[in-house]
Structure 1
């Protein structure tokens, strides 16, 4: 499928790649920075860099093909993206052995423009909870306690039955068990003034169907992350908004970002953030390095091990971004995981995923990370990684 020629590949011979590396990555104009994402014009030319610039932003850089990876294979994929881009990629980055080796921007991608993250926000909420554990506001043992035990402003006499079955662990694996119809939600959201703070959780726990072990099956949505954000708000000394800013994002040097506020006046937990591709790389490095950033333990290693593990299998009937070489889809603490097959071998991957095609994909066995932004819900990103990136970083 053609993109109308609006993102023509920079056709470079191998000898001129180094010269291109000194060109400037696309930045947003002042006018573009004020536009909603859907109104940002497509780039006239794709930007493809195999020796990403050291921008003194905390990200180490290297050269594709010298520090790892098959340059020809990766550039072949870059050419295909730029010429066709059926998946509507806006950026595509590759980090190998802690070095950014490949940086590219297409369509609405800009190096300095925060890109909507959709449900990848859930993974960032998970990291915020982990940060609260690292600082002692929660413990790992608290993950198995009833979520309501941290929310002291609730009136338990009005709860439906079984609310105590909702632990942090259950909520973070999308198994809280809430049963709220759209009609119920629309009704109590008609009066937003009574949903501020913990009153949002009160409304959920009053209007839900009874919570049972049977109802606590995996169900993807935003109610569980909402309740987890309420716990963060309740246990940290500042607000959740300030805590995320000062204790997580600022620690990584992430200052150019957006994070919406929901009806409760708390940060949205299941969607609504926006950050740049390079800042996604930083969050990926934090996860890949088991919670450490510049030698400081920001998130407990034990927490991230659980967050990025396959706590439960969710099935292969509908794998987002998947294909024939993607299987065993599972879920951790707001992180997805799947096996990616190349040849006769499968590689475990874990990923933050957002609707439209936002991914932070970690493949620990290969010390490999791929960061993607896009705006197509029918993307094939995980399948593309299996088919065209794994061969570039493995020996068959």
Structure 2
């Protein structure tokens, strides 16, 4: 039998995706969404994702397949929602983008009252290909902290203690004034007060050996401007996320990577994923995970269910309440999760959001027990955050 080089096999199998048919209307329970054959999760998924050819036809299903992946599935319309309205929106997403920089949606999934009732893939979207996640990786990091609290590795009161107290390898004598006042909660609210100019930060990155392990935080807190007292300005930056991951790593037996794998993702049957390492050697916390769209929906359902997954309390309800409540620093930001209100049809709906540049979103609407997941590859955030609520909320409002 003739042997085919693995790279050639990968390219050939990608071309088979052109045979994907347009699945419109009610689908059988075994309807198959488009996949990438022979996917190796150890590959550099971000680079591979950029090379995926666009689907010739979208996959649109109002009856997602039961994959035994921890999600309960249902039927759009029968289990809630205006089927015609959602299908119309899905068809618009499938149309060629009017602007090459926006409108590049790869998937849209909708969960309602605990069931996945709508699943669609466009362009680079594949059911088995973990989509690269930018800043929404921060949101997953916050959930990992919550899981550590649920397990007793951290306590709720630890959120308001100085973060450096957990990092025993730091040389406190070399840290800038005020470094010992930064709490874990403040770091997750992007209010650490760490300030490194771009030039100085670039210089420090040229010596990666000093950034391994807790050397990362040592560097930030040794070369920052002095940390001012609270209240501090909100600044969306990587050092704050790194503090959270470092605290998790210090608290979790076996370290952050194993903890995330076994105690957060593993508990939710999330196994088809990739999470890049940071320069410190720990998992990246600002961006760098790759997650399936269906697994993103699980995170949304976990939060809507107040930290419970399949009857087990994975994350404390009190922690999630605080994580999704705005701080005094930013009225739209909690612990690496965004909050926003939308007015649709003369009524205001509260939303909780995970956001990633390029267009990875988890949008939750607690009042309706509704969660929507979107992945995209836009040049910027796109317009989904504003347009999606206007299109899907009316479909689930009881008339």
Same fold? TM cut 0.5:
yes
Checking the alignment, whether the CA contact within 8 Å between 1:7 and 1:106 is kept in structure 2 is: no
Q: Which residue of 2 aligns with 1:391?
A: 394
Q: Which residue of 2 aligns with 1:323?
A: none
Is 1:45 aligned with 2:57?
Answer: yes
Distance 1:200 1:101 in 2: 43
Is 1:200 aligned with 2:216?
Answer: yes
Q: 1:208 Cα deviation (Å)? A: 0.1
Checking the alignment, whether the CA contact within 8 Å between 1:159 and 1:205 is kept in structure 2 is: yes
TM-score by length of 1: 0.90
Higher mean C-alpha deviation, range 243-252 or range 24-33:
24-33
Q: Which residue of 2 aligns with 1:129?
A: 145
- 1:1-396 correspondence to structure 2 within 5 Å: 10=22, 12=24, 17-19=25-27, 22-30=30-38, 36-85=48-97, 86-213=102-229, 216-312=232-328, 314=330, 330-376=332-378, 377-395=380-398
Higher mean C-alpha deviation, range 45-54 or range 280-289:
280-289
Q: 1:154 Cα deviation (Å)? A: 0.9
Checking the alignment, whether the CA contact within 8 Å between 1:128 and 1:248 is kept in structure 2 is: yes
| Root mean square deviation of aligned Cα | 2.0
Distance 2:335 2:315 in 1: 13
The Cα offsets for residues 85-136 of structure 1, whole Å up to 9 and x where unpaired, read as 4511100000000011100000000000000011110010001111111111
The Cα offsets for residues 179-214 of structure 1, whole Å up to 9 and x where unpaired, read as 101111121221111211111111111100010036
Q: Which residue of 1 aligns with 2:15?
A: none
Distance 1:312 1:7 in 2: 53
Structure 2: unaligned runs, 5 residues or longer: 1-17
Checking the alignment, whether the CA contact within 8 Å between 1:41 and 1:108 is kept in structure 2 is: yes
* Pair 248,275 (structure 1): closer, same or farther in 2 beyond 3 Å: same
Distance 2:313 2:40 in 1: 37
Higher mean C-alpha deviation, range 79-88 or range 370-379:
79-88
Distance 1:153 1:11 in 2: 56
Q: Which residue of 2 aligns with 1:318?
A: none
Checking the alignment, whether the CA contact within 8 Å between 2:340 and 2:350 is kept in structure 1 is: yes
Distance 2:83 2:140 in 1: 31
Distance 1:32 1:109 in 2: 16
Distance 1:303 1:294 in 2: 19
Aligned length: 373
TM-score by length of 2: 0.89
- Three-state SS of the structure 1 residue aligned to 2:233 is coil
Checking the alignment, whether the CA contact within 8 Å between 2:233 and 2:329 is kept in structure 1 is: no
* Pair 48,21 (structure 1): closer, same or farther in 2 beyond 3 Å: farther
* Pair 312,54 (structure 1): closer, same or farther in 2 beyond 3 Å: farther
- Three-state SS of the structure 1 residue aligned to 2:257 is helix
Checking the alignment, whether the CA contact within 8 Å between 2:194 and 2:224 is kept in structure 1 is: yes
- Three-state SS of the structure 1 residue aligned to 2:352 is strand
Structure 1: unaligned runs, 5 residues or longer: 1-5, 315-328
The Cα offsets for residues 205-230 of structure 1, whole Å up to 9 and x where unpaired, read as 11000100368211111110101111
The Cα offsets for residues 343-393 of structure 1, whole Å up to 9 and x where unpaired, read as 211101011111110011110001100011011124111212221101111
Distance 1:254 1:158 in 2: 41
